[in-house]
Amino acid sequence: GAGVSQSPSNKVTEKGKDVELRCDPISGHTALYWYRQRLGQGLEFLIYFQGNSAPDKSGLPSDRFSAERTGESVSTLTIQRTQQEDSAVYLCASSPTLADYEQYFGPGTRLTVT
Amino acid sequence: AQRVTQPEKLLSVFKGAPVELKCNYSYSGSPELFWYVQYSRQRLQLLLRHISRESIKGFTADLNKGETSFHLKKPFAQEEDSAMYYCALSGRKAGNMLTFGGGTRLMVKP
């Protein structure tokens, strides 16, 4: 079946512009996660959704970051007024429920802020 | 706070040699530990988890709570094992979010 998909695969933007990253989880997966991976570093947790609810937003790096999810489907991560330090690969993952430890990852969106 | 450390960024071995990818963690509780792998041009995928105590593709990992380690081992490396390996921890908080180590690139030479 189809795995987690993300779009765009690559995004180059100018400093100060807003960007929107999209994640389509595996159908039926209620839990959805966003991570960020800066060059040469491990993955950094950003936010998770249970259904369309994000109970804990403390992992978001700044108030320029926000995320939404429509029902148990698509999620968007929005970065306003992008900065060069936002350049990274943004990964989305989903799992059937929060109790399932295996997370299925998407291919990621590579964001470059010039 | 939970933290995962992978001290080696790169590990290079010859085919048939034993492999040990190191992972140390800090967590004040009973964590769940995982190894994820990313092969070239593929997405990140789960390799194994400590609770299942299984061997996947010849790899095993034992959780050592005394040393707070979860090293990944394979007795005889194969060229197809070349990949990025990430150790991860779930502290059963924040919806089972994962804390990842920085990753180790394993290169298996012919």
Structure tokens at A46: 């950003």
Query: What are the b/e assignments for A17-40, b being 16+ CB within 10 Å?
Result: eebebebbbbeebbbbbbbbbeee
Q: Which amino acid is at A66?
A: S
What digits encode the pLDDT tens for the residues A47-63? 999 888 888 888 899 99
Whether B98 sits inside 8 A of A41 (CB atoms) is: no
Structure confidence by residue, pLDDT tens digits, A12-56:
999 999 999 999 999 999 999 999 999 888 899 999 998 888 888
Distance CA B7, CA A105 (A): 24
Chain B residues whose C-beta sits inside 8 Å of any chain A C-beta:
4, 6, 9, 32, 34, 43-46, 49, 51, 86, 88, 90, 94-103
Whole-number Å distance between alpha carbons of A85 and A83:
5
**B98 vs A3, A99, A103: nearest CB:** A103
Q: Which residues pair with A91 in a beta bridge?
A: A35
Question: Does a cis peptide bond (omega within 30 degrees of 0) precede residue A8?
Answer: yes
**Chain A nearest CA to B11, separation (Å):** 15
